[in-house]
Structure 1
Amino acid sequence: MQTVFSLDHHAVNPSHDDVMGIISLVFWSILLIVCVKYVSLVMRADNEGEGGILALMALLRRHLPVHSRLTGTALALGMIGAALFFGDAMITPAISVMSALEGVAVVDPTLTEVVLPASVIILTILFVLQRQGTAAIGRAFGPIMAVWFLTLAALGVPWIMRYPQILAALSPEWALRFVVDSPWRAFVAMGAVVLTITGAEALYADLGHFGTRPIRFAWFCAVLPALTLNYLGQGAMIVLNPRRISNPFFQMAPGWATVPLVVLATAATIIASQAVITGTFSVAHQASRLGLLPRFSVFHTSRKESGQIYIPEINWTLYIGVLGLIAVFQSSGRLSTAYGLAVTGTLLLTTVLFLLLARRSWRWPLPVVVLIGIVIGGLELSLLIANMLKIASGGWVPLVVAGAAILTMTTWRQGTAYVATRRAAVEGPLDDFITGIRDDRPVRVPGLAVYPHPDRVTTPLALRTNLEFNHVLHEHIVIASIINENVPHIAHSQRVQITDLGAPDDGIVYLECHVGFADSQDIPKAIALAGDLLPELQLRLAEAIYFLSVADVRPADASNSLPAASRCAMPAWRRMFYVALSRNQADRTKVFRLPRARSVVLGDVITI
C-alpha cells in the first residue's frame, strides 16, 4: 500500500474512488491468484507430495509422449519458471526484512540509519539457522505467525468500524470501475499490487515441506481473513486520513504499539523469507535430479519428511545475492522497483503448465480451461506487462539472475549430454566386456565390489580401469544404477531390481534402484534392500568396496585431435563454464551415501 501511493508513480491518489479501486484490485488479485489458482487448483497437481514449477513440469511430461514437441515446450517453460523463481527468491528476503525494519522511522526518523546494518545481521542469522531444518525452525516460528495474523486482523478492524463503507471494495465493481475510468493509473498501480501476492509460488514449492492440508487450512482459516481485514483497514484509514500514505501499515497502530509492531513485523518477514528459502532448496534439488543442474550436497533435516532438506551451496549463494541487493538498493522502496517481473513471470508460466496438465492429462473440458486461462491468465499477464515498466529502474535484477540460471541449466544439460556420449565410447559395451572376462578368466579375489554406474549398456570406467591396472576382479561384483524417475517418491518395495550378467554363477549382477527426485540416492541402502533377493550380498555389505567411475572433464586445447564433427557444439567460454560446474559438483561419496574409507576413485580424461 505504501508503494502504490508513493510519489514515484505520479498516478494513484489517496482519494475515495482510487482507494476503493486499489483495495478491490488487491482483494481480487489475492482471491483469484492465491485462493482460486494456487490453493484450490494448482495444489491438486502435487507430484506425489512435491510442489513447485519443476514438479508440475515433471508431472506434465510424464503424461506426454517422450519425443513430442509439447514435451520439449514443457521442459523449456519449467526451466524458465524455475530460473525466475530463483530471481524472486533472492529479492524476497532483502525487501521483506528491510520493509519491516523501516517501520522504526515512524517512531524516530533518525533511526533509519540502523535499518541496513540490522537487516544484514538478521538475515545472516536466518541463513546460518537453515542447517537446523524446517521442522526445528517451524516450532519456533509457528506461534509468532499465529500472533502476527491475529495482529493484522486486530489492526484492521477498528478502522473498518470507523468507515464501514470500505467493505464495498470487496465487490469487483470497484476494481472494474477503476480500470475502465483510469486505465493508465490502474495499469501503473498493478506494478505495486503484485507485491500483495508475492510468495504464492513459494507456497506451492513448499508443498513437500508441509503438505496440502496444513497449507490450505492455514490459508483459509487464518491468513486470508487476516489479510482481508488488514487491507480493508488500511483503505479505510487512508480515506479518512489521506496524509498517512507514507507508511500506512505502521500508522494504523496507536503510537504506543509502533515499536512492538516493528519487532513483530520483522519476525514475520523473517519467516516469510524462510518460506522462500526452503522453496528454493526444493526447486534446486528437483532441478538437479532432473538433470538441469549439477549435483548438490543435500542434507535431509527430518527423519519423517523427506522433502525437508538443506543445500549449503544454494543457501550461501542466496545469502551473498541478498547482501548484494541490500548494498545496492539500500531501501525497500528502491528494491520494490526490482520486484515483480520474476514473480509475475513465474505465475504466468505455472498457469500455462497447469492448464496443459488439466487439458492433456486430466481431460478437463476445453471451455473450463479457456475460462481459467482468460480470467487468471489475463490478470497475471496484465501484472507482468505492468511490471515491465520497472525494467530500467531495477527490474533488470531478477532478469539477470534468471538469465544466469537459464544459462547454467542449458549449459549443464548440453554439456552433460556431450560428455555422456564421449564417455559411452570410452567405456564400451558391457556385454562385450563380460564376454571377455568369461574367455580370459582373470584372477578373482574375495570380497564385494560395488560399481555405481548410470546404466547397464556400457562398462563402468572404474571396472575396466581396475582390471587393466590390477589384473584381478572381486569374487562378487555389483553394478549399481540409480534411476531417477519423474515422480517424487518410490516405495522401498518397488525400488530394487536385480539382473544377472553373464553366467548365473559368475558373481556379477546388475542392481537397478529406482528413486523419485525427492528420495535419497543411497546405494548401500539399495543393496540392503536387495538382501532378500541375494542374501550373500547382505553378508558382505559391511566390507564392500565402492569403486567410483570419474570422467575428468577438461577443456579442449589447440592440440585436441578430435574431428570437428565430434566436438562439443558449445562456444569455448560455455565449455569452460561447464568444466567449472563439473569440477565443483558435490562429492559423489556423499550423494550416494558411500563410506569414504571404503571408496576408490578410478576413471579417464574426457575433453570437451
Structure 2
Amino acid sequence: MNNSSDGHSGRQPKLAAATLAALGIVFGDIGTSPLYSFRECFAPHGIDPTPLTATNLVGAASLIVWALILVVSVKYVLIILRLDNKGEGGILALSALIRSGARRLGGRDPKSVLLLGLAGSSLIYADGMITPSISVLSAVEGLSVVSPNLSQYVVPIAILILIGMFAIQRHGTGKVGILFGPIVLLWFTTLGLLGIRSIIAHPEVLTALSPTAGITFLVREWHHAFPLLAAVFLAVTGGEALYADLGHFGTRPIRVGWFTVALPGLVLNYLGQAALLSYDPSALRAPFFLLAPDMMRVPLTILATASAAIASQALISGAFSLTTQAVQLGCLPRVRIRHTSEHSVGQVYVPSINRFLMVACIVLVATFKSSAALAGAYGIAIVLTMVITSFLFYSAARTAWGWSGKKAGVVTGLFLILELPFLAANSLKIIHGGWLPLVVAGIAMSIMVTWLWGRARLYARLSREALPVDALLSDLKRGSIHRVSGTAVYMSGRGDTVPTALLHNLKHNQVLHEKVVLLHVATLDQPYVEEDACAKHVDLGQGVHRVDLNFGFADTPDVPEALKKRLPEAVRFHPGKATFFLGRETYGVGKNASALDRIRLALFAIMARNASPATAYFRLPPGRVVELGAQITL
C-alpha cells in the first residue's frame, strides 16, 4: 500500500510540473485572444457595425464559448490529440501517420495526403508570423488606455519585446515553459477574476452558456454573420497549436491544463466583457482592459504584455517541430537543428526559422502598427489548417483506428459543419490583409514541393547512370582494383548500385579500402525507431558491407553512434577509425529543360548549396570526412 501511494505521489508532481510548463508554451496563443476577439465582434468592418445591445452581447459571448467547447475542447483536446504519431503531433506528423498506416494495410502511398500535410505546414509558418505580432501589439496597446499620450511608444516597445522573445528561444521550450508557466497561470487566473467581477454585477449574461443564445443571435443578425464569425474565430485560433506542440509535452498535461485552467479562465473573461459592454457600450474601444479598475490597469498591461509575448511561443515551438519533421521526411533541405532537452526529444530549436520569424514579425508590426489593422490578416491561415486537419482526420481514423468509412465520415462531417462557415467568413478578409499569410504559405509550399521534385529528379538521374554493386564485386574478385588498409564508409541511396562518391574515389585515387561500407540512411514515417529495428547489415563479400540505418522523423540521425552500438557485435565499425566519403554535387541545367524547369532547378540548386552540411547533420567526425565534388546535369 505504501509503495503504491509513493508511486502515485511521485507521478503527481511530475504531471503538475509538465502541466505548468505546457501552460507556458501551448496555451499562450489562445489565452491572449480576449485582448481583441470580443472587441472585433462589434467593430465596424467597413460596414454598419452589429448593434451593441444586451441581447447581441450575450449572443456573441455564446458563440465564442461554444466555439471554444466544440472546436477546441471536443475536436482538438478530446479527439485530434489522440492521433499522435508515437508521441509527435502536428499536421505533418498526422499525414505521415496516414501514409505509414496505408502502406501497412497494403494500400498505395497516398501522395495527396503528403501534399495536404505540406499545405497545412506552410499555413502554420504563415500564422507563426502573425500571431506574435498581433498578440504583442494588442497587449502593448493597453498603454494607450492608461494614457493616450503613450500611444506613440506602442510600436517601438512591441518591436523590442519581440526581439527579446526570439532571443531566448535558443534556451529550449522546456526551460522557456518553466519560466513562462507561472506567468500564464497568473494570466488565466486574472482572466477569470476579471470576468467574475463583471459577471457578479450583471449575472444575466450567464444565459450565454446556452447555445440557443448564439444561434438566435446569428439568425437575427444574419446580415452581419460573416464579419461576426470571422471575429468569433479569433477566439479559437490557438487550437491547431495545441496539436502541433503535442511532442513537446504529451497529451495528458495539455488536457489537464486546458480543462482546469485555460478553458474556465477564457469563458469567464468573455462573459465578463459581455457584461461590461451591456451597461457601458463606450468600453468597446478596449473592453478587456476596462474590465479592471483604474488602479489595476498599469499592472494588467504589464501582465498582458508578458502573456502576449508568451502567446507567440505555441506557434514558434510548432514551427520548430514542423521544420524538424519536414527535414527528416525529405520535404526541406537540411538545416541546423538543436535538441534542447536530454529528456524530451521533441524539444528542438531551429535557428534559421527563429531568425526568419523574428524579422517577419518586426516588419509586420512596423507596417500595420495596430492590432486592429493586423486582425484583417489574422485567421485565414489557421482556419484553412483546421479544415485540412479535418480532411486528414477521415483518413487517419480509418488507417490508424480502423474506423468504418461511415463512422469517420460522420465525425469529419461534424467538424466541417463547424469550420466551413468560419472559412467562408475569413475568406472575406483576403482583400483586407488576409492575402499576406496566403502568399507566405504559397511560397513555403513552393519551396517544399520544389525540393521534393528536385530530389526525385536527381534520384532518377543518378539511377540511370548508376553502376550495379555486382559489377564492383566482380572487379574486386578479379583483383583489378588496388586495396589499401582501413575502413571507408560511403553514403548510398540504393542498395543495388555503387555510390557516386565511390566511383569518383576510384576514378581519381584508383584505390579502395579493404573494408567498404555502403551506408543507406532512411527516415521512416514514424517519429522514433526502436533500437533493435534501427540497423540492418548484409555482408556482400570482398570486404564490402551493406548497412541500412533507420531513423524516425523526430530522431537525431547520429550515424557514428548507430554504427558503433546498433550493429551486431561481430561487424561493428569504429567511426573514429573509419573515413566517411560524401558527395558534394553542383547542378547544371540541361539544354532541353523548359523555362519552368529551369526556374525550379535553379531554386533547387540554391537550396542544395545552402543546406546544412551532411557532416553536422549526421554527426560525422569532421576530421574523418572526405568530400568529393561532382557536376550533375538535371
**Range into which the TM-score falls when normalised by the shorter chain:** over 0.9
Query: Is structure 2 residue 554 aligned with structure 1 residue 515?
Result: no
Written as runs of structure 1 = structure 2, the 5 A alignment for 1:126-205 is 126-205=165-244
Kept in 2: contact 1:480–1:523 (CA 8 A): no
Residues in 1 aligned to 2:407 and 2:464: alpha-carbon distance in whole angstroms: 51
1:112 is paired with a residue whose SS is: helix
Whether 1:43 and 2:69 are equivalent positions in the alignment is no
* 2:390 is the counterpart of 1:354: no
State the AA in 1 paired with 2:500.
Answer: L
**Which AA in structure 2 matches 1:108?**
S
How many aligned positions are there? Answer: 595
Q: Counterparts of 1:16 and 1:459 in 2: how far apart (Å)? A: 76
Q: In structure 1, how many angstroms separate the alpha carbons of the residues matched to 2:326 and 2:566?
A: 28
What is the RMSD computed on CA atoms of the aligned residues?
Answer: 1.8
Matches of 1:272 and 1:124 in 2, distance apart?
Answer: 14
Call closer, same or farther: CA 1:359–1:425 in 2, change over 3 Å: closer
Q: Is the 8 A contact 1:98 1:116 kept in 2?
A: yes
Q: Does 1:550 align with 2:584?
A: yes
Q: 1:111 to 1:73 in 2, by over 3 A?
A: same
CA positional deviation for 1:68: 6.3
Amino acid at match of 1:551: E
Deviates further, 425-434 or 112-121: 425-434
Q: Residue in 2 aligned with 1:240?
A: 279
Q: TM-score, normalised by structure 2?
A: 0.91
- Which residue in 2 is equivalent to 1:33? 71
SS at match of 1:34: helix
Instruction: Please name the residue that 1:584 is paired with.
Output: 610
Q: What percentage of aligned pairs have identical amino acids?
A: 41
Give per-residue Cα distances to partners, 1:469-525, cap 9 Å, x unaligned: 112111222121111100000122221111112x2xx32211111111000111101
Counterpart of 1:5 (choices 42, 65, 68) is 42
Q: Per the alignment, do residues 337 and 181 of structure 1 end up closer, same or farther by CA in structure 2, a change over 3 Å counting? A: same
Q: 2:350 aligns with which of 311, 332, 349?
A: 311
- SS where residue 64 of structure 1 aligns? helix
Q: Which amino acid aligns with 1:376?
A: F
Aligned-residue offset at 1:544: 1.7
Once the two structures are overlaid, the 10-residue window that deviates more, 360-369 or 254-263, is: 360-369
Question: Residue 295 of structure 1 aligns to a residue in which SS?
Answer: coil
Matches of 2:572 and 2:109, distance apart in 1: 47
Residue 572 of structure 1 is matched in structure 2 by 598
Query: Would you say the 8 A contact 2:563–2:572 is kept in 1?
Result: no
Deviation per CA, 1:117-176, whole angstroms, max 9, x where unpaired?
A: 111111111112111111121121111111111111111111111111111101110111
The 2-side partners of 1:197 and 1:383 are apart by 11
Question: For the residues of structure 1 that align with 2:405 and 2:527, how far apart are their CA atoms?
Answer: 29
Amino acid at match of 1:325: L
State the AA in 1 paired with 2:609.
R
- Give the counterpart of 1:595 among 621, 625, 630: 621
Q: Which is worse superposed, 430-439 or 251-260?
A: 430-439
Q: Is the 8 A contact 1:24 1:175 kept in 2?
A: yes
Higher deviation after alignment, 529-538 or 11-20: 529-538
- Is the CA contact (8 Å cut-off) linking 1:355 and 1:369 kept in structure 2? yes
Q: In 1, distance between residues paired with 2:522 and 2:109? A: 24
Letter in 1 for 2:349: Y
Aligned to 2:560: 524
Which segment is superposed worse, 329-338 or 421-430?
421-430
Give the secondary-structure state (helix, strand or coil) at the position aligned to 2:513. Answer: strand
Q: Give yes or no for contact 1:15–1:239 (8 Å, CA) kept in 2.
A: yes
- The corresponding residue for 2:58 is 20
2:100 aligned to which of 47, 59, 62: 62
CA distance in 1, matches of 2:269, 2:449: 44
Which SS does the other structure have where 1:444 is aligned? strand
Shift of 1:443: 2.5
State the partner residue of 1:418: 457
CA separation of 1:74/1:552 partners in 2, compared to 1, >3 Å: closer, same or farther? same
Aligned counterparts of 2:533 and 2:606: Cα–Cα separation in 1: 37
* Distance in 1, Cα, partners of 2:277 & 2:572: 77
1:483 aligns with 2:522: yes
Paired residues of 2:534 and 2:551 also in contact (CA < 8 A): yes
1:440 and 2:479 aligned:
yes
**Structure 2 unmatched runs, 5+:** 1-37
Q: Is the partner of 1:140 in helix, strand or coil? A: helix
Partners of 1:534 and 1:113 lie apart in 2 by 72
| Aligned 8 A contact 1:548 1:599 in 2 | yes
Question: What is the distance in 1 between the residues matched to 2:463 and 2:409?
Answer: 46
Aligned mates of 2:250, 2:604 — CA distance in 1: 36
Give the conservation status (yes or no) of the 8 Å contact 1:6–1:246. no
TM-superposed CA distance for 1:65, in Å, is 4.7
Secondary structure, aligned partner of 1:534: helix
Answer whether contact 2:381 2:437 (CA < 8 A) is retained. Answer: yes
Task: Compute the displacement of 1:348 (Å).
Answer: 0.6
Which amino acid in structure 2 is aligned with residue 143 of structure 1? P
Q: State the secondary structure of the residue aligned to 1:514.
A: strand
One-letter amino acid matched to 2:546 = Y
SS at match of 1:499: strand
Q: Which residue of structure 1 aligns with residue 427 of structure 2?
A: 388
Hey, what's the Cα distance between the residues in 2 that align with 1:399 and 1:378? 23
Q: Partner of 1:488: helix, strand, or coil?
A: coil
Shift of 1:529: 2.0
Equivalent position of 1:230 in the other structure: 269
Structure 1 match to 2:27 = none
1:50-105 alpha-carbon deviations (Å, 9 max, x no partner): 00001111111112259968812212211211111111111111111111100111
State how far apart, in whole Å, the 2-side matches of 1:194 and 1:585 are.
38
- Superposed CA offset, 1:261-284 (max 9, x none): 111111111111011101001112
* 1:536 Cα deviation after fit: 5.5
> Structure 1 76/266 Cα, relative in aligned 2: closer, same or farther at 3 Å?
same
SS in 1 for 2:41: coil
TM-score (norm 1): 0.94
Question: CA separation in 2, counterparts of 1:419 and 1:201?
Answer: 35
Q: Which residue of 2 aligns with 1:261?
A: 300
Contact kept in structure 1, 2:475 and 2:481, CA below 8 Å: no
CA distance in 1, matches of 2:481, 2:404: 64
Bigger CA drift: 34-43 or 458-467? Answer: 458-467
AA aligned opposite 1:544 = A
